[in-house]
Amino acid sequence: MFSYDANEKLEITKEYIIIRFYAWKLPIYKTILKNDENLKISYDEKMKGSIKFIFKLNYSIFYPRIYRLMKFESNGVKHSFGYDLERNDYQKIKDLILKERNNNK
């Protein structure tokens, strides 16, 4: 219900990764991460089959940093993207991020 009105955007540049979340076309969350060697990128499926995940589905719009599959960690802070992101899409995005990072060198 709520989650259908949510939207996520990921912008990848040589220097930064910008994650934006919108609810009902209104911006609710934005984070800017430096695209450097300190940024760890991973894919986490452990919430996918969780009963907690199923019940939180409709409220995930209010917790954009938690209920996403692609994880970014920088300076001990975790951020997430991709509510229904498949592993092959994750790999494509990660490859683009690494390509942009290498173009910056």
pLDDT tens digits, 49-102: 655 555 555 555 555 555 577 889 988 888 888 867 788 999 999 999 999 998
Instruction: Tell whether the model's pLDDT for residue 7 goes beyond 90.
Output: no
The pLDDT assigned to 62 comes to 59
pLDDT of residue 67: 58
Query: Averaged over 18-38, what is the pLDDT?
Result: 89
pTM of model > 0.85: no
| H-type alpha helices, 6-86 | 51-56
Domain containing 83 equals 3-103
Q: Which residues contact 20 (CB under 8 A, 6 or more apart)?
A: 8, 9, 10, 11, 27, 29, 30
Domains of the chain: total:
1
